[in-house]
Amino acid sequence: MEKRTGYLKMKGNPLTLLGRELKVGEKAPEFQALTQDLQPFSLSDTAGKLRVVSVVPSIDTPVCDAQTRFFNQDASKFPDVAILSISVDLPFAIKRYCAAQGIENLTTLSDHKALDFGSKYGFVIEELRLLSRGVIVIDKDDVIRYIQYVPNVEDAPDFDSALAAVKALS
């Protein structure tokens, strides 16, 4: 598997990303993850829809919580857009978090089992076995129209650019 260095940092320390960096215009890879109810989920489950994939290291951290809340709130503004949030948190933790925080307008997914999403989309942090932070917008034909790999794990993604991509495709 490809290793990418020199891009990602956490608390000033360099980290290694596993998997190839995807680019705008590429076909979005199919992936398998689990829902909070332990059901299998794949990208094709949302076929024919515009998708926003919010990638977070762990939902129980302040920036990840803010990112998840942002997309949960904005999901209601785009009823024809599938908003997905993915981390390596266990499905049980995701379910507890969503219930406690009122997260109900997006689909939360766990990549903990096989890191299938993270490996195919290039978001796996080798040293931590977590996903890095980012946002991907995938059109109805499964083409990546926007992708951001956030270079500092502690920073939020560029919400305005991600929403501009969604609005341009809606």
**Cβ-contact 132, 57 below 8 angstroms:** yes
Distance CA(153)–CA(134), nearest Å, equals 9
Choose the catalytic residue: 18, 43, 50, 64: 64
Going from the C-alpha of 24 to that of each of 20, 61, 148, 150, 160, the distances in angstroms are 13, 29, 10, 15, 17
Angle at the Cα of 118 (from 167 to 128), degrees rounded to 5?
Answer: 125
The tokens describing 98, both together, are 């969503």
Instruction: Respond yes or no: is residue 64 known to be catalytic.
Output: yes
Give me the active site residues, please.
64
